[in-house]
Amino acid sequence: MDHHSVLFVCAGNICRSPLAEGIFRHLVSKASRSGEFEIDSAGTGGWHQGERPDRRSVAVAADHGIDISGQRARRIEPADFSRFDLILAMDQDNLKNLRKTAPTEFLGKLHLFNTLALGSNKDIPDPYYGDREDFEAVYTMLLAGCSALLPKVGNALRGS
């Protein structure tokens, strides 16, 4: 059995990346593939380290039967670049920040989430300054992307 490790990354690790982690973990579990995956999330900044995800992310996930309340925000660390097979940034700004800090030999692991998942160069917008509807819209985008990503993960890691 193949083993894959996926890290979802946004700015503060309290809105988008915890949702992506929770959604992907839920889909992997529903597909009875939990043993194949290590799934985590992180932020490029450390402003919220140790905090729970944003209450609106927790609420939207819960509305869809996914519990992300036990997650804690963390900042990406140097070891993550070697530890994870795929590091998926929620937007171009975070992808640029990751590219600045990643050792050269690991740059191939960095991708824009939507590019790898859906073949699109669209950012997942940060809902932090928005309202509940913005978080719901982000959930819908992440669900579509994670659903498309799951069957592709093995191929993405083999470079096909």
CB 17 within 8 A of CB 9: yes
- 56 flagged as catalytic: no
Active-site residue (options: 54, 80, 123, 126) = 126
Instruction: Please spell the DSSP secondary structure of the chain, one letter per residue.
Output: ---EEEEEEESSSSSHHHHHHHHHHHHHHHTT-GGGEEEEEEESS-TTTTPPPPHHHHHHHHHTT---TT----B--HHHHHH-SEEEESSHHHHHHHHHHS-GGGGGGEEEHHHHHHS--------TTS-HHHHHHHHHHHHHHHHHHHHHHHHHHHT-
Active-site residue (options: 16, 25, 56, 74) = 16
- 15 flagged as catalytic: no
- 74 flagged as catalytic: no
CA atoms within 13 A on the CB side of 104: 0
> Catalytic positions, please?
10, 16, 126
